[in-house]
């Protein structure tokens, strides 16, 4: 799987090429700054009676890819689109917690 990762302002843009895979067979998992993409390509075999397959060149199996970004990802604002064999992820950066100053009573 070919993956492009870009940092655009306050988010990351990820484009992953997944030709021939159905949207239902793609899974994206976010754990802090680590993003994992996994997909499974399935092939149904329709062999008719009396038919003998001499060669098949269709690939089926699983593929996965994990990478770490420079900052934690805000999962609640993240979005994903899949069109024409390309998965597009928009992963906003999680805002850094602001330091609080405690008032002493």
Which H/E stretch holds residue 104?
Answer: none
User: How many beta carbons lie within 10 A of that of residue 35, not counting itself?
Assistant: 23
Chain segment 91-100, per-residue pLDDT in tens: 999 887 666 7
Tens-place pLDDT, residues 7-26: 999 999 999 999 888 999 99
**Residue 21 to residue 101: CA distance in whole angstroms:** 51
Domains defined for the chain, CATH in brackets:
3-43+59-92 (2.60.40.790)
- pTM attached to this predicted model: 0.76
């Amino acid at each position: 799987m070919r993956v492009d990762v870009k940092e655009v302002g306050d988010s990351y843009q990820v484009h992953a090429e997944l030709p021939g895979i159905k949207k239902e067979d793609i899974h994206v998992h976010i754990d802090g700054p680590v993003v994992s993409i996994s997909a499974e390509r399935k092939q149904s075999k329709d062999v008719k009676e009396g038919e003998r397959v001499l060669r098949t060149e269709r690939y089926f199996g699983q593929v996965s890819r994990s990478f770490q970004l420079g900052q934690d990802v805000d999962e609640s604002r993240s979005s994903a689109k899949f069109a024409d064999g390309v998965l597009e992820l928009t992963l906003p950066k999680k805002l850094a917690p602001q330091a609080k100053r405690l008032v002493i009573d």
